[in-house]
Amino acid sequence: GRLSASASLNYERSDGHRDNSAFNSLGGMLNFGYEFSPVWKASARFSYTDARSENPGTVSAPMYEAWARIRRGMAGISIENSSDKMSGSVDIYYNYGYHLINDGHTAEQAAQKYLFNGTDFTAGVTAYETVSIFEGNRLTAGIDLMQFGGHAYRNPETEVYADHRRLHEEAVYVHDNQSFGS
């Protein structure tokens, strides 16, 4: 009764409404949880999706070889506490994506020489604790730390349109809420 788990596997597919408009996606998710006591519990979650879509362009200006392949994944763990006077959690997470895109071409244009390549990620830690000091009071203190960024390029030799970023954000907060009356 203390351990919980769930899993899912999803597959979607369509030939599309026109030529060169197919889509397919395969994804899965896993969730695990464990209750150490009535006050403390932990959980972990994982997901991954691999999707491919085609873009036929408009009827009057059809596109050829226009497609995108997108892969996305996520992982996270949490530890939570909850009682009459206190509640809070610590969450650690990481999510990422990989994108490979062919912008395609019209009948009058030549095929693209290079594909667009891109990656992105978000990673962080969020922690907070809420205490009830006296009747009608809730005091919350927490911290959020996050890093995100990615890389993008079209030409792997010259990295034309390169965009390599890694940014971070930090936040510390205290919030007090007092209710009066019934």
Residue 71 has pLDDT above 60, yes or no: yes
How confident is the model over 45-55, as pLDDT tens digits? 999 999 999 99
Query: pLDDT for 116-145, tens place per residue?
Result: 889 999 999 999 999 998 888 899 999 999
Rounded to whole angstroms, how far apart are CA atoms 89 and 142? 9
Report residue 56 CA to chain centroid gap. Answer: 28
Average pLDDT of the residues of the chain: 92
Nearest to residue 83, comparing CAs of 134, 34, 130, 42?
A: 130
- Contact call for residues 94 and 122 (beta carbons, < 8 A): yes
User: Residue 10: pLDDT band by 50, 70, 90 thresholds?
Assistant: very high
How much is the pLDDT for 163?
A: 61
Q: Give Cβ neighbours of residue 8 (< 8 Å, ≥ 6 apart).
A: 28, 29
- pTM of the predicted protein model: 0.83
pLDDT for 21: 93
